[in-house]
A = this chain, B = another copy of it.
């Protein structure tokens, strides 16, 4: 009598459901940075038991979204301009590395998946699921590095960056940039297998966003 799958709101396990919800709440800022995360409170909010909440929080620790202090519970990872700067720097180094490895090892499958991810992202401009498609595109760039740990680091850092994007976006996103064109450029360079050009385009894409976000984050 269990119909639960990707389509259903219900997750496969209570822990996974709690993990997803809490992750989303931290990334969007529904749970503010630095906030104490009380088990009982979250248990009621998510309408589940204490064990799944606790386990989900432990898991979120891996993603650096939650801090755990022995014997005194959990809190949402604090946010600061220093932390944001660190994330940007690490992303640039690690994605550069992953990207170059991906291109060095380039295969037709990798290229096709990349084109596909880009296409899907374009279709969804503005949609709620655009964020997901955007991440999938960027991860598709790195997906051929044959370095799982490196990709995991990049994925984590990507999410942390999204979080700052959300924290900053009270005054709506008005940049004089053509993000779509930047993505096209990145894709074109990658398909051309030009590692230097792709890296330049990608890092510039990140650094422009980073510089813009930094100006919005003065209140942190």
Interface residues of A (CB under 8 A from B): 12-13, 15-16, 51, 54-55, 58-59, 61-62, 64, 68, 70-71, 82-83, 86-87, 89-90, 93, 97, 146-150, 153
Q: CA–CA, A150 to B157, complex, Å?
A: 11
Count the copies: 2
- Residue in B12, B82, B146 whose beta carbon sits within 8 Å of that of A71 in the complex: B12
Residues of chain B within 8 A of A55, CB atoms compared: 54-55, 58
- Beta-carbon contact of B58 and A13 below 8 Å: no
A161 shortest CB reach to chain B, Å:
12
Q: A61-B62, A83-B149, A90-B150 are in contact. List 7 more A-B contacts (CB 8 A).
A: A12-B71, A13-B71, A16-B70, A64-B149, A87-B149, A89-B147, A153-B153
- Beta-carbon contact of A149 and B86 below 8 Å: yes
Residues of chain B within 8 A of A62, CB atoms compared: 61-62
Residue of B nearest to A85 (CB): B147
Residues of chain B within 8 A of A71, CB atoms compared: 12-13
Q: CA–CA, A90 to B150, complex, Å?
A: 8
Residue of B nearest to A58 (CB): B58
Q: CA–CA, A13 to B83, complex, Å?
A: 30
A72 shortest CB reach to chain B, Å:
10
- Beta-carbon contact of B148 and A70 below 8 Å: no
A48 shortest CB reach to chain B, Å:
15
A75 shortest CB reach to chain B, Å:
16
Q: CA–CA, A75 to B150, complex, Å?
A: 21
Q: By CB atoms of chain B within 10 A, which of A58, A61, A146 has the most?
A: A58
A41 shortest CB reach to chain B, Å:
19
Minimum-distance CB pairs A-B, first 7? A58-B58, A62-B62, A86-B147, A61-B62, A16-B70, A55-B58, A58-B59
